[in-house]
Structure 1
Amino acid sequence: MVSTAPFEEQAFGRYRLLERLGEGGMAEVFRAKSFGVEGFEKIVAIKRILPRLARYRDFVAMFVREAKVLVRLSHANVVQVFDLGRVEGKGDEPPAYFMAMEYIAGLDLATMLTRCQQVGVRPPPGLATYVAAEVAKGLDHAHRRRGEGGQPMGLVHRDVSPQNILLSWEGEVKVTDFGIAKARDSFEVNSEDSRVKLLRGKYAYMSPEQARGRDVGQDTDLYSLGVVLYEILSGANPFRAPQPLETMRRVCQADAPPLERLVPGLDPGLVAVVRQAMAPLPSGRFVDAAAMHEALLPHLSARHGRFGPSDLADFLRRLSEQLATNRVPVSEKTPIAAPSHLTHDVDHDRTDVDLPDRDDEMAQASRLLVLGRDLLLQGDLPRAGDALGRVLVMAERHGASAQASQARMYLGYLDALAGLPGGEALLRDGLAEAAAQGHRAGARQGRFLLGRLLENIGLPRAALVEYEACRRLAITDDDPLLATECDEALARLA
């Protein structure tokens, strides 16, 4: 948890801490200022090991070894490490070990994606491709880096994820925390007579071999980058589940829904790049990060030009403005357009954008429906309700009965989970409506949700009936992903 108490500026060795930016599993980060001769000053980021971890010598030694490696990296797409230091603690407090790093004025990719969901925006494919291509360049530099004797350093990031991809307000893309995951994921400490992982990697972005605890090579970073690109394009991580063990199972089996199903009309060439990056076996992936970068380059081009730093900066600016000024109800929010030279005639200065036409809005509704279901099954009820409420408004506006009935089912499930009266009835009504209108996809999903609901409220026998009915529909309609989910549910209740 990050403290909500006001932060007071304080001296820290030869630095002055100005602002506490956040805290992760192993360190807290500050915006700080360094001082030199003749009034020289520089803004940096200070990453300081958490006090509770600084007491463990093995962890500190690993942190120091990694920092000595990271300082050798110097590339436009990698956050530069300037300094490794130690400030002695007071009294019996342990020394505070830290890294001084390049300060990036902007936000991380995870924050950008969250803000996009808040205002109903889907980043354009050009933006997704540009970010992935820039990350690939940074990875290529690190992967090829050699030591002073000319020997390959064999660097692997191990944690390529949206939280570790920084976007500057000027449109730069930088990878951070290179190699820190090795220290984080390797460290264990005895606690109450059991071996407890003190810090964990981000399961949903791991490669299958990393999730299984095997030795990983540089191709694991390419797999993780493929997952990141998948998420930017589709709006959802393909593996994330409510429970870490279920996420790990999906990752180990490389059980990702086809991207083209979530984003109809996406460039098949770009889909192929994501598919190759996310190949279950390392031998099926790109030979190196440079090859992945080259494969992404053709997809940076669009109708009116090529996506670049100024376009990313423009997108971030307009996203921030819409968050600050948008007073439109959630159900009526419309997407921010792509940069002007990548679209038809769009007035980007308007905040009261006209509603999109039926085809555009229903395509957005289909994507939100998938996102809402995923968030629902992950237990993120507020964001699920937001997405599904918008789907229902759009579906009813355009008379799309299939999407409307599915949205009602999902919202009924959400209401029932939240303990609201009528939730289960709404779910059953939506299921009956879908069946009566011949919407088989909706009927399948409704059966699955009803089974999940009955399981959650302690009615396993009734849940088994619904899961079995859902499984039969999924097999008949050739929906292997849903059939697999039903099999897992049946096994869980057996």
Structure 2
Amino acid sequence: MGIRLGRYAVLKHLASGGMADVLLARSDGIEGFERHVVLKRIRPEHARDQRFIRMFLDEARVAATLHHQHVVQVYDIGEAGGEYFIAMEYLHGEDVRTLLSAASRSRAHAPLGIALSIVSAAAAGLHYAHERTGSNLQPLGIVHRDVSPSNIHVGYDGAIKVVDFGIAKATTREETQSGSLKGKLSYMSPEQCKGVAVDRRSDVYALGVVLYELVTTARLFKSDNDYQVMEQIVHGRITPPHARRPDLPRELSDIIMRALATDRDRRYATADELRVAIDQIAARLGLTTSTSDIAAYMRKQFGERPEPWIGVSAEDFASKLDNVPTMIGALSPNASWTEQPASDSR
């Protein structure tokens, strides 16, 4: 593309969201060093909004403190020519929304062990973020607030990562955390729908929705009317997963329903409690799944897909990039497993 942002050569525009453009880029160094990254760049219409820039940078700084095998790594926060951006690791794989779309098209559930492993890993990454402390050793109070299938990534190597802490809130910051709707509507907790203060249990709820959908291959909350979706969530109108899938172990159904409790005091208190419950039932049912098992499943579903720059000449690189998976926080707007964004303010 011939565009540079600081030390990054932009190779491909991947997608545009409401707040940022997402770009594939390369960082070059001495002795032939290079690293491929994903850049999130503030969209031009927000580039002069100082309040927005401050929010973008504050939340990028929070994300940059997270270093965990199940959380996407933020490498850099920068500015070039008045353009602010975040550089993060390139993830070679698919988001869970794409996995759900493939399962729905094939009319076959994802293997139960795979589903449990994905959500267990995501829970581990979220718990790490929830527990993160600042330099003063006080909790940062990080809540993701946008846990959904498009924000959980499964690599072709079997690695699982939570991505896009772009609307994560550190509750120690001065801005109020209540009064606005942020995230994808169908994965919001009842308290998010009500516009009240949220804590880590909202992420537990959203992860419960993801697990429900992974094991049933069915949308939990869906309507053409946003109000009806919110009403279903707030009033807890949920068909138990074992009623949709009779072969599902009742104990697993109960775990999911506890994560989806309308009253957050009745949910798992932490993402780690949910992870432990998932791991225990996986062990009892003989469904413990390794990273190599997940990688094999990804190959079966999507074929062999090397990174787009492997074995490709510079001249062919641009055309090769047309096949790059565009996963980073819901980058595939045409995926059949759609998610409703929440655009309301309350």
Fold shared by both chains (TM-score > 0.5): yes
Shift of 1:54: 2.0
Shift of 1:143: 0.7
Structure 1 residues 278 and 53 mapped into 2: Cα distance closer, same or farther (>3 Å)? same
Gaps of 5+ in 1: 1-7, 89-94, 188-196, 323-382, 385-494
Secondary structure of the corresponding residue to residue 134 of structure 2: coil
Structure 1 residues 200 and 286 mapped into 2: Cα distance closer, same or farther (>3 Å)? closer
Does residue 123 (structure 1) correspond to residue 116 (structure 2)? The answer is no
Structure 1 residues 172 and 61 mapped into 2: Cα distance closer, same or farther (>3 Å)? same
Superposition map of 1:60-79 within 5 A? 60-79=53-72
CA deviation string 1:364-418 (max 9, x = no partner) = xxxxxxxxxxxxxxxxxxx79xxxxxxxxxxxxxxxxxxxxxxxxxxxxxxxxxx
Amino acid at match of 2:94: L
Does residue 252 (structure 1) correspond to residue 239 (structure 2)? The answer is no
Matches of 1:320 and 1:167 in 2, distance apart?
Answer: 12
Shift of 1:159: 0.5
Does residue 140 (structure 1) correspond to residue 127 (structure 2)? The answer is yes
Structure 1 residues 290 and 50 mapped into 2: Cα distance closer, same or farther (>3 Å)? same
Amino acid at match of 2:36: I
Amino acid at match of 1:18: L
Matches of 1:320 and 1:179 in 2, distance apart?
Answer: 28
Which residue number corresponds to residue 96 of structure 1? 83
Structure 1 residues 16 and 272 mapped into 2: Cα distance closer, same or farther (>3 Å)? same
Matches of 1:226 and 1:123 in 2, distance apart?
Answer: 16
Structure 1 residues 225 and 140 mapped into 2: Cα distance closer, same or farther (>3 Å)? same
Structure 1 residues 133 and 180 mapped into 2: Cα distance closer, same or farther (>3 Å)? same
Which residue number corresponds to residue 346 of structure 1? none
Which residue number corresponds to residue 232 of structure 1? 214
Which residue number corresponds to residue 170 of structure 1? 157
User: 8 Å contact 2:59–2:168 — kept in the other structure?
Assistant: no
User: 8 Å contact 1:171–1:310 — kept in the other structure?
Assistant: yes
Matches of 1:310 and 1:271 in 2, distance apart?
Answer: 27
Aligned length: 299
CA deviation string 1:243-268 (max 9, x = no partner) = 22211111111211121110112111
Shift of 1:145: 0.7
User: 8 Å contact 2:66–2:129 — kept in the other structure?
Assistant: yes
Matches of 2:119 and 2:268 in 1, distance apart?
Answer: 14
User: 8 Å contact 2:149–2:210 — kept in the other structure?
Assistant: yes
Which residue number corresponds to residue 275 of structure 1? 257
Secondary structure of the corresponding residue to residue 43 of structure 1: strand
Matches of 2:140 and 2:286 in 1, distance apart?
Answer: 41
CA deviation string 1:198-253 (max 9, x = no partner) = x9520100000011100001111000000000011111221121122211111111
CA deviation string 1:291-343 (max 9, x = no partner) = 11110102334776621211211111111149xxxxxxxxxxxxxxxxxxxxx
Shift of 1:53: 2.0
Amino acid at match of 2:197: D
Moved more, 114-123 or 149-158: 114-123
Match of 1:86 among 63, 79, 90: 79
Shift of 1:288: 1.0
Superposition map of 1:335-484 within 5 A? none
User: 8 Å contact 2:72–2:163 — kept in the other structure?
Assistant: yes
Amino acid at match of 2:83: A
Shift of 1:25: 2.4
Secondary structure of the corresponding residue to residue 307 of structure 1: coil
Does residue 210 (structure 1) correspond to residue 192 (structure 2)? The answer is yes
Amino acid at match of 1:273: I
Which residue number corresponds to residue 286 of structure 1? 268
CA deviation string 1:431-487 (max 9, x = no partner) = xxxxxxxxxxxxxxxxxxxxxxxxxxxxxxxxxxxxxxxxxxxxxxxxxxxxxxxxx
Matches of 2:289 and 2:164 in 1, distance apart?
Answer: 26
Matches of 1:12 and 1:150 in 2, distance apart?
Answer: 34
Which residue number corresponds to residue 294 of structure 2? 312
Does residue 40 (structure 1) correspond to residue 33 (structure 2)? The answer is yes
Question: Which structure carries more helix by proportion?
Answer: 1
Secondary structure of the corresponding residue to residue 273 of structure 1: helix
Amino acid at match of 2:267: R
Matches of 1:207 and 1:220 in 2, distance apart?
Answer: 5
Which residue number corresponds to residue 449 of structure 1? none
User: 8 Å contact 1:127–1:312 — kept in the other structure?
Assistant: yes
Matches of 1:277 and 1:11 in 2, distance apart?
Answer: 45
User: 8 Å contact 1:84–1:100 — kept in the other structure?
Assistant: yes
After TM superposition, where is structure 1 displaced by more than 3 Å over at least 4 residues in a row?
301-305
Gaps of 5+ in 2: 305-335, 338-346
Secondary structure of the corresponding residue to residue 298 of structure 1: helix
Matches of 2:77 and 2:133 in 1, distance apart?
Answer: 20
Which residue number corresponds to residue 9 of structure 2? 16
Which residue number corresponds to residue 47 of structure 2? 54
Aligned residues: CA RMSD: 2.3
Secondary structure of the corresponding residue to residue 104 of structure 2: helix
TM-score, normalised by the number of residues in structure 2: 0.81
TM-score, normalised by the number of residues in structure 1: 0.58
Secondary structure of the corresponding residue to residue 180 of structure 1: coil
Secondary structure of the corresponding residue to residue 236 of structure 1: coil
Higher RCO (CA < 8 A, seq sep 6+): 2
- Identity within the alignment, %: 39
Does residue 25 (structure 1) correspond to residue 18 (structure 2)? The answer is yes
Moved more, 162-171 or 17-26: 17-26
CA deviation string 1:142-192 (max 9, x = no partner) = 011111111011000000001111111011110011252559xxx9xxxxx
Secondary structure of the corresponding residue to residue 292 of structure 1: helix
Amino acid at match of 1:47: K
Shift of 1:34: 0.7
Secondary structure of the corresponding residue to residue 201 of structure 1: coil
